[in-house]
């Protein structure tokens, strides 16, 4: 890494970066507390969950292994000790937000979301109440709206923009607040006659201290404004007359800037501890003002929340303490005992130093991304958030959210960015981050756009990143207290290498285009009678995602392409179709079919006996059912219990074996052909993902291996050269002869008397990076990383090999087979 770049960074940010006045420098922190990152992994999703320190975990383990903590609801000595630990932990949480125990209480929950749910359930809603929230709120806050509307109350969203202007006379900066109200939501309007609320109605305003989408921070002055002068926000709205309570969602913001409740006395603050110091997960807190606690109306009671109850009559007396009243059941006391070690770590560095450190990295990345240009001068990066000098968001958190553009102005999909980042060892987040309001606002998505995207099949966490030419989400990186300049620089370098076009690269930034494809010189005048291509190998994969077997000669059929290819699959107890992506051990299951005996033999190193499965239809002993997979419906039948026990032992989890009952039972569900994984919608398939055949050329594999060696020689890849054979890619057919990637240009081909149509390239995933070694399945970033450097197409797919459909010209007969050595006649017209 260029030392000059870091010197330039330190000249600008050295006063804030790396804890110059702290007990440890950032380099010492990484060397002693995050050794697990020395393998080159770059973690940039701290807004999702930050990383725990190894010294922090050592302290927790020592604590738990040398002390005995009992149930705090018991009266034993150990239980009393636990109560003391819990009490100290509550005080640490209050201290973190500068909240006096005279005014506030700390209620432990399973996380910020559970705290928000508690507020929604217990808030004193009435038909005259109102719930107001910002467009930048997380889904977990929006969920409170359901309680509001179910009580007949009103709800609406607002946009808040704070601008800062320079007063020329005084020389001071003047801030002003611009608020826009979205339409009011209310259910069962006809039931309510009186709309204008009386002054004693309780209303709730929720806002995030930091937007988890953009990193924009909201001024905490909103707390005092809503409590003292709500007309400043609501204007002449009748709801400005009610009694307003304020909720701060600090799940993200409290990591680097916890709210000071002595200055901004919000009624509710929610947080999750794994966001602050990584461990424990499943534990959060609700900091609640004492006056607000008295107004909440809790319905359910449980162990620990009641002073006494009578089982057979309607009698219960609840406890008076706020914490006891709202913490149902036994608290997670071992997790609570762990948070003091996290707070000790944070306090040793100080929150203000963490804020400055992470801010310096985020500012550096924002600044660098904004200056990137394609070779035609077009900007590559659009960053979302308050970046204008005239917009004040009280700085921004350590988040950078963006999308990337091609030189022609079209978008790179965020899933493409995520996929390539993963290959480079960079972990980041994509999508809308459970923040639909901020996502729609920054991406410019109207209600019509959002509904159209839903109709197109888009849901959270899917791969539909570009619809109708617009992004449906974004890319987000975020920094934690242990993040380094080197990680930020490697991320910037990744963006430059993978997406910025230059005179030496494709105009689409490392993309494979039509001009990059080496077309076949054969077949330009139709299918030639003489060919330079021959079948080198034939492989059949009877059980989906398990190992296949090679055949010298094999019959064709209308459904599988190759007879019995992917005719079986394994299904989990929950109905999930199992593949190597989730169960890599499936690669150790080997298969072989003897057509003369009509038996499939199956073996596994985890099973002593070889399994024999009769192929005759009347040999099945399981029931029939229907399953859906890849936009198709299949009728399948199962097997006897001993078969399922064998496969369960082979992969180390419960599963059952299913067989496709026949091609006539396979039915395409996706008639529009717009959504779904099946590429070949005209054929009836067995359990293949996209098509009947996958074809590779020996020349293409050889070229890939040359590139793999070259990447090591030029220092672009670490470690020993990786060499791959065709089995990594699970092809049905491997051809010899011709030039590398000539198959990209083929439209159809003929083998013997059999005709095939090309369905396009095969999009490769992480599965080709799995390698069997010493009886285990190990993962690397090759060969997919190398393929991504020269085989990426505009949609972000990484193509290697082509799919084929078997075209039945005449009725199948005994001559419909493929054989190693047969000539292949391609046609590129």
Q: Are 357 and 25 in contact (CB under 8 A)?
A: no
Q: Is 678 a catalytic residue?
A: no
Distance (Å, whole) CA 323 – CA 288:
10
Locus of tokens 């905490």: 220
Whole-Å CA distances, 148 to 182, 509, 633: 16, 49, 41
- Cβ distance 770 to 777 under 8 Å? yes
Catalytic residue (choose from 432, 434, 553, 678): 434
CA-derived radius of gyration, the chain: 31
Helix axes 485-499 and 3-13, enclosed angle (nearest 10): 120
8 Å CB contact between 136 and 432: no
How many CB atoms are closer than 10 A to CB 767?
A: 17
Pairing assessment for the beta strands 748-751 and 754-763 based on DSSP bridges: antiparallel
What secondary structure does DSSP assign to 137-176, as a single string?
Answer: --HHHHTHHHHHHHTT-EEEEEEEEEEEEE-TTT--EEEE
DSSP string for residues in 570-604:
EEETTSPBP-TTT-GGGGG-EEEEETTTTEEEEE-
- C-alpha 136/C-alpha 213 separation (Å) is 8
Q: CA–CA separation, 735 vs 737, rounded Å?
A: 7
The C-alpha angle 312, 317, 319, rounded to 5 degrees, equals 140
Contact in structure between 477 and 351 (CB atoms under 8 Å) = no
Name the residue with tokens 């009992």: 70
Distance CA 165, CA 414 (A): 35
Distance (Å) of CA 603 to CA 239, 547, 691: 71, 10, 27
**Catalytic residue ranges:** 434
């Amino acid at each position: 890494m260029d030392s000059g770049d870091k010197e330039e960074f330190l000249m600008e940010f050295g006063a804030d970066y790396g804890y110059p006045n702290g007990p440890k420098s950032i380099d010492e922190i990484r060397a002693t507390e995050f050794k697990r990152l020395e393998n080159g992994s770059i973690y940039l999703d701290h807004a999702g969950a930050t990383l725990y320190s190894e010294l922090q975990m050592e302290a927790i383990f020592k604590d738990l292994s040398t002390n005995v903590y009992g149930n705090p609801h018991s009266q034993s000595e150990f239980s009393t000790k636990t109560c003391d630990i819990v009490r100290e932990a509550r005080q640490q949480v209050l201290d973190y937000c500068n909240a006096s125990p005279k005014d506030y209480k700390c209620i432990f929950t399973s996380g910020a979301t559970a705290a928000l749910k508690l507020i929604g359930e217990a808030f004193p809603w009435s038909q005259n109440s109102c719930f107001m929230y910002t467009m930048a709120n997380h889904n977990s806050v929006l969920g409170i709206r359901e309680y509001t509307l179910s009580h007949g109350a009103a709800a609406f969203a607002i946009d808040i923009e704070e601008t800062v202007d320079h007063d020329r006379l005084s020389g001071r900066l003047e801030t002003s607040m611009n608020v826009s109200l979205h339409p009011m939501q209310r259910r069962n309007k006809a039931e309510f006659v009186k709309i204008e609320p009386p002054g004693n109605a309780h209303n709730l305003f929720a806002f995030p201290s930091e937007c988890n989408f953009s990193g924009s921070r909201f001024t905490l002055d909103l707390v005092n404004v809503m409590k003292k002068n709500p007309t400043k926000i609501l204007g002449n709205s009748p709801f400005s007359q009610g009694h307003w309570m304020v909720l701060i969602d600090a799940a993200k913001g409290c990591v680097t800037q916890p709210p000071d409740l002595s200055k901004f006395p919000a009624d509710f603050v929610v947080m999750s501890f794994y966001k602050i110091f990584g461990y424990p997960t499943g534990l959060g807190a609700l900091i609640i003002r004492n006056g607000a606690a008295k107004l909440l109306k809790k319905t359910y009671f449980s162990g620990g929340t009641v002073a006494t109850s009578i089982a057979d009559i309607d009698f219960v007396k609840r406890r008076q303490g706020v914490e006891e009243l709202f913490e149902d059941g036994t608290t997670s006391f071992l997790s609570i005992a762990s948070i003091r070690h996290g707070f000790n770590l944070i306090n040793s560095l100080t929150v203000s130093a963490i804020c400055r450190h992470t801010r310096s990295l985020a500012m550096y990345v924002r600044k660098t991304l904004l200056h990137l240009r394609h070779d035609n001068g077009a900007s590559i990066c659009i960053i979302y958030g308050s970046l204008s000098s005239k917009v004040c968001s009280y700085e921004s958190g350590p988040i950078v959210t963006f999308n990337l553009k091609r030189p022609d102005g079209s978008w790179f999909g965020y899933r493409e960015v995520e996929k390539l980042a993963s290959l480079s060892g960079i972990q980041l987040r994509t999508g809308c981050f459970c923040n639909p309001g901020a996502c729609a606002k920054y991406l410019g998505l109207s209600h019509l756009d959002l509904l159209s995207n839903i109709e197109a099949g888009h849901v959270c966490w899917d791969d539909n990143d570009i619809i109708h030419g617009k992004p449906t989400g974004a890319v987000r990186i975020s920094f934690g207290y242990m993040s380094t300049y080197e990680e930020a620089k490697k991320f910037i370098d990744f963006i430059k290498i993978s997406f910025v076009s230059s005179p030496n690269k494709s105009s689409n930034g490392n993309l494979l285009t039509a001009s990059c494809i080496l077309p076949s010189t054969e077949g330009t005048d139709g299918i030639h009678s003489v060919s330079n291509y021959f079948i080198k190998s034939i492989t059949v994969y009877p059980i989906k995602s398990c190992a296949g077997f090679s055949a010298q000669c094999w019959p064709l059929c209308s459904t599988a392409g190759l007879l019995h290819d992917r005719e079986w699959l394994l299904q989990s107890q929950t109905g999930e179709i199992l593949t190597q992506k989730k169960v890599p051990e499936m690669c150790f299951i080997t298969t072989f079919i003897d057509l003369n005996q009509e038996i499939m033999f199956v073996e596994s190193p985890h099973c002593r006996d070889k399994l024999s499965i009769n192929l005759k239809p009347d040999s099945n002993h399981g029931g029939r059912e229907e399953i859906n997979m890849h936009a198709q419906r299949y009728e399948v039948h199962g097997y006897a219990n001993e078969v399922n026990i064998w496969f369960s032992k082979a992969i180390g989890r419960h599963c059952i074996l299913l067989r496709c009952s026949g091609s006539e039972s396979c039915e395409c569900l996706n008639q529009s052909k717009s959504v779904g994984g099946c590429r070949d919608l005209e054929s009836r398939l067995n359990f293949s993902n996209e098509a009947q055949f996958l074809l590779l050329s020996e020349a293409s594999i050889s070229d890939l291996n040359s590139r793999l060696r070259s990447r090591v020689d030029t220092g672009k890849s670490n470690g020993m050269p990786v060499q791959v054979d065709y089995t990594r890619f699970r092809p049905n057919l491997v051809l010899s002869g011709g030039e590398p990637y000539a198959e990209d240009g083929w439209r159809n081909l003929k083998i013997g008397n059999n005709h095939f149509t090309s369905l396009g390239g095969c999009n490769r995933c992480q599965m080709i990076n799995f390698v069997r070694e010493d009886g285990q399945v190990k993962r690397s970033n090759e060969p997919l990383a190398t393929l991504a450097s020269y085989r990426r197409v505009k949609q972000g797919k990484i193509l290697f090999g082509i799919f084929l459909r078997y075209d039945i010209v005449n009725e199948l007969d005994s001559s419909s087979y493929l054989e190693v050595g047969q000539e292949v006649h391609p046609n590129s017209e």
